[in-house]
């Protein structure tokens, strides 16, 4: 039985794709259409309407028209609406998970986690809607009565990532709404399904027409949106090359932006670590979503004394992973997003081996047999990686773990900080003193210790350097969508 037919009984209906502007559906797009390819089968499964400047103009106008009423809506009512949306996300979590498997190839165990996290982000930020406070700065006779008021910004351009749209919606759209802003949402054309379902649920939850507007689109829509004078702020998750283009467009209007970009996260494994636990964490977290994640611990730095042991453990662990149909519960690794991605990833591995910058311990090839029709790559471990090589410096965004050795804490920190990225880093060590020392020396937005996850809904997440700037998650995530007005009374 083919992987297409194996889970037919658990299939999910893909929503009809349309732009949603001021509550109305628009099936066509002035920029044409895009054939969405299922990465599991490499077959076209949906045609995506692409917005151009015309649809973007209409969506921005709708968001700005809806802004005064939404801003003026009681914070308690905004909270109640978003709490209802959180309930609907929870009720539709399995549908979101299965749509995610179809749109970007994430395995169902991973996409279920994303749906749960999206509900948690939504619940969390709903709770902030009626808890936003200003501050009394002074009330003395000399200065007078001075206080601050947190106010929403206006229409927010939200551009969500393709490798986990549902969680990105919870991290971006919900805090913007809770703060009183309106939204123009543009999902990636290669992963549009989750956003369409999200819009359906937002309408059911009672979000008024025009408060969220959805435009499907590619580069043309992105340029029109990020360069639009009616946009008050941009929030984007993706690669730094696209971020450069966004900032160029935004510069015309001095539009501020939150940029959550890529990573090359160092995972420091010391000899006093629990090597079995460190290996399991490296394998399962490093290769989550087929390695297509910005904060995954894929650049592994191992202390010299346990290097050979750890590489052997990693080889056994990675080579035993189940690769297959994303809708199968037993699958741990699914396909990468596209043919171009698979060719790029294998090209990086080939370059490393041909130049002596690393050796393949396991994997390093495209899978055939039953999986030959999709974009499935064997989970790969590269050992003895040259820290100055492109494989160690550039984001691979695929199922590849690169391993290199170090002999001292100082060398480990230098290697960890030796790329242009600064999103996440990880420490595996049983020495609490060492952990405390290193946390302050690692140049990254987050540090995970002994299996610490790279993301949680109630703490800030964001990076430095090529990993972007701004925060998502925690109170810092809603502060990005507010400005403080100062009032002086004499």
Q: What is the Cα–Cα distance from 191 to 303, expressed in whole angstroms? A: 40
Clarify whether 294 is annotated catalytic.
Answer: yes
Which is catalytic among the residues 55, 220, 279, 294?
A: 294
Cβ neighbours for 13, distance < 8 A, ≥ 6 positions apart: none
Which tokens belong to 25?
A: 């559906």
Q: What is the Cα–Cα distance from 424 to 458, expressed in whole angstroms? A: 17
Which is catalytic among the residues 220, 260, 395, 472?
A: 260
Clarify whether 279 is annotated catalytic.
Answer: no
Active-site amino acid positions:
260, 294
């Amino acid at each position: 039985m083919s992987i297409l037919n194996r889970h037919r009984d658990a299939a999910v209906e893909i929503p009809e794709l349309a732009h949603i502007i001021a509550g109305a559906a628009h099936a066509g797009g002035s920029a044409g259409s895009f054939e969405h390819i299922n990465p599991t089968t490499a077959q076209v499964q949906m045609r995506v309407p692409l917005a151009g400047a015309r649809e973007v103009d209409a969506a921005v106008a709708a968001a700005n028209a809806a802004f005064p009423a939404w801003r003026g809506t009681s914070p308690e009512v905004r909270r109640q609406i978003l709490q209802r949306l959180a309930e609907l996300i929870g009720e539709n979590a399995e549908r979101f998970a299965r749509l995610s498997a179809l749109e970007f190839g994430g395995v169902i165990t991973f996409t279920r986690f994303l749906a749960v996290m999206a509900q948690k982000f939504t619940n969390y930020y709903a709770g902030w809607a009626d808890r936003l406070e200003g501050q009394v700065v002074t009330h003395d006779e000399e200065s007078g009565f001075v206080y601050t008021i947190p106010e929403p910004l206006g229409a927010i351009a939200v551009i969500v990532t393709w490798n986990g749209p549902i969680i990105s919606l919870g991290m971006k759209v919900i805090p913007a709404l809770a703060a009183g802003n309106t939204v123009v949402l543009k999902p990636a054309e290669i992963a549009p399904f989750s956003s369409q379902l999200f819009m359906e649920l937002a309408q059911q939850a009672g979000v008024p027409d025009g408060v969220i507007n959805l435009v499907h689109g590619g580069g043309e829509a992105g340029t029109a949106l990020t360069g639009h004078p009616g946009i008050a702020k941009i929030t984007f998750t993706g690669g730094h090359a696209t971020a450069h283009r966004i900032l160029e467009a935004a510069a015309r209007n001095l539009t501020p932006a939150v940029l959550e970009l890529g990573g090359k996260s160092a995972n420091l494994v010391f000899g006093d670590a629990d090597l079995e636990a460190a290996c399991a964490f490296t394998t399962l977290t490093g290769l989550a979503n087929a390695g297509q994640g910005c904060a995954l611990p894929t650049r592994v730095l191992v202390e010299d004394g346990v290097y050979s042991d750890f590489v052997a453990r990693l080889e056994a662990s990675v080579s035993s992973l189940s690769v297959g149909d994303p809708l199968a519960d037993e699958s741990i690794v699914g396909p990468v997003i596209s043919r171009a991605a698979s060719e790029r990833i294998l090209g990086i591995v080939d370059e490393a081996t041909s130049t002596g910058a690393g050796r393949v311990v396991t994997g390093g090839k495209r899978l055939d047999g039953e999986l030959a029709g999709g974009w499935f790559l064997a989970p790969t471990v590269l050992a003895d990686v040259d820290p100055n090589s492109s494989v160690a410096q550039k984001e691979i965004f695929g199922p590849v773990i690169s391993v290199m050795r170090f002999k001292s804490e100082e060398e480990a920190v230098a290697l960890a900080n030796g790329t242009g990225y600064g999103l996440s880093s990880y420490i595996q060590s049983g020495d609490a003193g060492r952990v405390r020392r290193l946390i302050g020396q690692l140049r990254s937005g987050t540090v995970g210790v002994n299996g610490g996850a790279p993301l949680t809904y109630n703490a800030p997440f964001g990076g430095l350097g090529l990993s972007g700037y701004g925060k998502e998650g925690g109170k810092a995530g809603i502060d990005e969508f507010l400005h403080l007005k100062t009032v002086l009374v004499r």
